[in-house]
Structure 1
Amino acid sequence: MADDGLITIGALARACGLTASALRFYDDCGLLVPVRVDGATGYRYYSEAQVDRGVMIRRLRGIGVPLEAVAEIVDGDGARAERLLDAHVAELAERARAAAVVTRMIKEEIRAGAVLSAAALAAAIEQVRSAAALDREMPILAGVLVESSADSVTVTATDRYRLSTRAMVPVRPSGAAWSVVVDAGELGGIGSWLRGLDEVSVWSADDALILAGGGTERRCGVIDEAYPDYRAMLAGLAPVRTRVVVARDALLAALEDRGAAPIVFLADESGLLLSRDGSACIAATITGPRTELAFSPTTLRPALVSAIGPEIMLDIASADAPVVVRSATDGDLTTLVMPTAIMNSKENDA
């Protein structure tokens, strides 16, 4: 403090919560002028009464009030000061609203969400989800893999005995590739919501798959484990030896009378037989050599129920290799079904 009761610039800076350089700037602007400046040293001295003004300037600048408005507020009458403050707050609110709009657009670009037909996604989830494992012995198999690329969105599930995968062409593709594994249980009730929408945006977050449409949003929890390389499994399938094209409903109806015991198929030139003795024969188009194999109904029925279209195609490599089940008219949905061991005649008759 100076001898005449004035305080130094450092003391005022500490009292106001400002820096000495800020006080020098406000001096140059005429906002906070020192009472005296030492002509020899150039030191600035202030009165203690200027502390309140310095605090007011700091607070106004802290909320972004422009310098010219600060001068009017600290030097003008109270009514004028209030109007200026209200105008500044309104401007801040408008800027915040505009910033929120831009931020939302940027986030959507960062999320790189794909836009899909909501009905197509609902159908794909229902077709594929039943292939996920019901038990939690391997938690990752209780999930549905959702993948987005530049030209498709694919959903896949497998329980080791059956694998279903369906690709969809998006209305608007994703800006970047991503994939998540969603707990299949969380997708169980989402179909009715999706069917109430025209389109749905889909993207991944750190801990969720997010679906948004119609002003609402759904978040599905994810399983943070590596999913089996199903593409390598598909690529490694043995060459097709026999191809069967058959009416889906006719095959399903024939299965209804077979109970839970393994079903023996015999594909030859006469059609598709569901037993060796030919007691149940379904009209089918068979290409390739005669083939005999067996299925568990609990594995085969869901694959047939979820198939697209009135006819299905069975691509058979051998009696102990996965059989590819596809729509004969739409290849977007592909299902692999693992045959079971064929019983001998005595076991079959029993």
Structure 2
Amino acid sequence: MTTSPDLITIGTMARLSGLTPGALRFYGDCRLLVPAVVDPVTGYRYYTVDQRERAVTIRQLRELDVPLDDVGRILDGDAESGAALLDEHVAELHRRAERATRLASAVKARLVTPPTVVVPGRLLADTVERVLPSVATDSEIPCLTGILVEVDAGAVVLTATNRYRLTTGSVTAAARTGNPFRTVADGSALRGTAAWLREHENVGLALDDDSGALTLTGADGGRHRCPAVGGTFPDYGSMLAALDPPVTRVIVHRDALAGAVRDAAAGTIDLRVRAAALTVGHRGHDRVLPADVTGADLDLSFDRDGLGAALDTAVGPEVLLDIASYDRPVVIRSAAAGDLTTLAMPVRREEHP
């Protein structure tokens, strides 16, 4: 495909807007930021430079947990209504910008060895805690007891899998000065840094070239070292790319779905997808949730606790479910400033064909 010089790639748009490529795909699939052109052969997405402002506005609103419907109203409604909604957040946005500028300067001044990447401490802590439930608890495959940390293209990506569930989440970098790297950091060591990360506006990440250990450095010079775990982490990227395309896509309020799953009795629960509704059923007790549904009607079943754990890791007010079949992994996607993807495997029921 020959592209116009006025078009930019999804990677360039990610750098210009502060959204990760995964978040851009999420907002495109939610019809908030539709690419200008999608390559019909590769599926690669291209944007215009003029879309940058819309992308930046989406990122700012989602950092404040503005629901998708309200984001659409602000962006596409009349100027007066949009301005009224935006005015409610102006003071907070100024405060964050001033604090980020001040502390970014402090990081540069105090770090003896500049890190490869600097990210917001709170967002990194949130992502660590959302990925941790997918870390393996046994040592049969040692590398699965760790979290894969990848630094590239202006983002930090954390991934964990216990072979039954996979979760991957990304955080946009505030600054990057070194070369990309990847390492599998000890899961327990990263778990122990969560409270410390939240005490720091920005945290630097660097790799020990000799041991593969991950070093986290705060603006005050405090450091945490997370040892590397041996072994080869699974090629999750190829696995995600090999998934069957979805035949049904559901956008539903995260807390409503998580609450319905949580309120069901332990065991197997049923999800029935119909036009404009998602029904969570268990032994004749149904909860009907409003949903934005595209595609075919589907019935599928899950282990309650497994699906609940997958939903608990989501970010933002909504989740997007990509469903290929009743017996194929369901991709659960969510996004705020960064994005999170979890695979949840349905369980079989006798009545399925």
One fold, TM greater than 0.5? Answer: yes
CA distance in 2, matches of 1:287, 1:196: 42
Instruction: Name which of 311, 315, 336 aligns with 1:308.
Output: 315
User: Equivalent residue for 2:215?
Assistant: 210
CA distance in 2, matches of 1:183, 1:327: 25
Cα deviation, 1:278-298, whole Å, max 9, x if unaligned, reads 732111121100111111122
TM-score normalised per structure 2: 0.63
* Corresponding position: 1:186 with 2:189: yes
Give me the identity figure in percent: 39
Q: Is the 8 A contact 1:202 1:209 kept in 2?
A: yes
The residue identity in structure 2 corresponding to 1:211 is L
Cα deviation, 1:164-222, whole Å, max 9, x if unaligned, reads 11122211114212111012111222111011111111011133111011211100111
Instruction: Name which of 99, 113, 116 aligns with 1:113.
Output: 116
Unaligned 5+ runs, structure 1: 1-103, 346-350
Deviates most, 262-271 or 118-127: 262-271
* Corresponding position: 1:296 with 2:303: yes
CA distance in 1, matches of 2:198, 2:346: 35
User: Equivalent residue for 2:70?
Assistant: none
* Corresponding position: 1:173 with 2:180: no
Cα 1:270–1:168 shift into 2, 3 Å: closer
* CA drift at 1:329: 5.9
CA distance in 1, matches of 2:251, 2:348: 23
Q: Is the 8 A contact 1:114 1:172 kept in 2?
A: yes
Instruction: Tell me the number of residue pairs that the alignment of Structure 1 and Structure 2 aligns.
Output: 238
Cα deviation, 1:119-138, whole Å, max 9, x if unaligned, reads 11111111111111122222
Q: Is the 8 A contact 1:161 1:299 kept in 2?
A: no
Alignment of 1:117-136 (within 5 A): 117-136=120-139
CA distance in 1, matches of 2:337, 2:243: 20
Q: Is the 8 A contact 2:136 2:145 kept in 1?
A: yes
CA distance in 1, matches of 2:221, 2:244: 47
* Corresponding position: 1:241 with 2:241: no
Cα 1:159–1:116 shift into 2, 3 Å: same
* CA drift at 1:309: 1.2
Q: Is the 8 A contact 2:170 2:338 kept in 1?
A: no
SS at match of 1:136: coil
* CA drift at 1:320: 1.6
TM-score normalised per structure 1: 0.64
Q: Is the 8 A contact 2:271 2:279 kept in 1?
A: yes
Cα 1:265–1:274 shift into 2, 3 Å: same
Alignment of 1:142-157 (within 5 A): 142-157=145-160
